[in-house]
Amino acid sequence: MGNVEFTSHLEKDQLDSLSSEKLDLSRRLTSDQLEQHLRNVVIEENPGLTEIPARIFAQISFYETLIVSFHCITQIPQELPLQLPHLVHLNLNFNKITSLPESFGMLIHLEVLELSHNVLSKLPSSFSLLKSLQKLDLSNNKLRTFRDDIEKLQMLKKLNLNNNLLERIPLSLCLIDSLEVVVCLNNRLITPPQDVCNEGLVGIRQYFEKENALHSPPREDIVNIFPRIRKSDAFTHPNLNTAMTQYNEMQSQSFNMKMKVKTPLLPPSLATAFPPDELANKIIGCIYGAAIGSALGVSTDFLSKNECAFYYDKEQLSYSDIINDVHRSSLKKGCWAHSFDQMVSIFIIRRRSILREV
């Protein structure tokens, strides 16, 4: 697919974005098409780009965000930094890129670089010139070595090296003061050992400190600010088991009445002082809250703690922040997980009488 006809497979909202500061040329794939793409099978009805379209770059020198993911791009043109000098965010995930040009280091404003699921085996020498880089995703590539001069990226905060062929993490990585998250699962690491690197930045720092290769700053003693509560003090109800048994008996009697008349929902003793209508609203609110929580929880399915810290801001999370990877690419934003469907089904089956009341 060349530069001339590439727009034939773009959707209207993607074409409309050509006049903004963000250009999204990502290919929309179904779950079956994504599986084909990962197996390097050509999708005839939606073949995708084989190169970044140079014709567009001549008109978009002020773009700050470029997303060209889920295509078949193998090379990045040398002139890219000259054509997009203001680029802040570059996403080339799920392509077939084999190498980066030496001119790549000229992207001096680049803050976020996503190159996951490509076939990169090494990084260019100019890579350390990306002084503004804060987030770097090189997961699912073929990297065998990582640059020793990585400490020059003093703005770097998050680094993902999952699923590569790395055998060594350089000591210089620990010299980046701004670094907060390092993820390097499923490599072939020897130095530090893979099980140490699986713990993330903390484990890597501790390893080099023990090897006397990294100076350990003085640490303040950690004081437990939470008072200790004994198990016997946690439950203050005098006859907890008796109260629960009585409550179950009352509920059973109300639901097994011979006459099919509505009976009031009987809360446990001391459970609530809310009137029935307000209690019903709160229960419904809990159900809505569970749906929203499940939809947001999709964002972290099958991710480790360090991976969550890499992909998401710990201060806030919205549906638009959910990453587009193998597991989540087929899900619509805001779609809840199967676990919520199961919860509702069980709730309906086993508590129909309660539902009629509330």
The predicted-structure confidence for 103-132, as pLDDT tens digits, reads as follows 999 999 999 999 999 999 999 999 999 999
Per-residue pLDDT band for 6 (boundaries 50, 70, 90) equals: very low
Other beta carbons within 10 angstroms of residue 151's beta carbon come to 18
Q: What percent of the chain has pLDDT over 70?
A: 74
CA distance 299 to 333: 10
| pTM of the predicted protein model | 0.74
169 in Cβ contact with 195 (< 8 Å): no
Helix (H) or strand (E) holding 80: helix 80-83
pLDDT for 335 beyond 80: yes
Express each pLDDT in 254-274 by its tens digit: 444 454 445 555 656 667 677
Per-residue pLDDT band for 164 (boundaries 50, 70, 90) equals: very high
pLDDT for 172 beyond 60: yes
What pLDDT does 336 receive? Answer: 80
Choose among 303, 282, 285, 288: nearest CA to 336.
288
When mean pLDDT is compared across 221-225, 256-260, 347-351, the lowest value belongs to 256-260
Express each pLDDT in 41-85 by its tens digit: 888 888 899 998 877 666 657 889 999 999 999 999 998 998 898
Q: What does DSSP say about strands 181-183 and 158-160: parallel, antiparallel, or unpaired?
A: parallel
CA distance 267 to 253: 14
pLDDT for 318 beyond 60: yes
CA distance 171 to 212: 11
Residues with Cβ within 8 Å of residue 121, at least 6 apart in sequence: 98, 99, 141, 142, 143, 144
pLDDT for 213 beyond 70: no
Per-residue pLDDT band for 4 (boundaries 50, 70, 90) equals: very low
Query: Which two structure tokens, joined as six digits, stand for 80?
Result: 């890219």
Query: Which two structure tokens, joined as six digits, stand for 62?
Result: 């002020």
Question: For the chain, what's the residue count?
Answer: 358
CA 184, 186, 189, 195 dihedral sign is positive
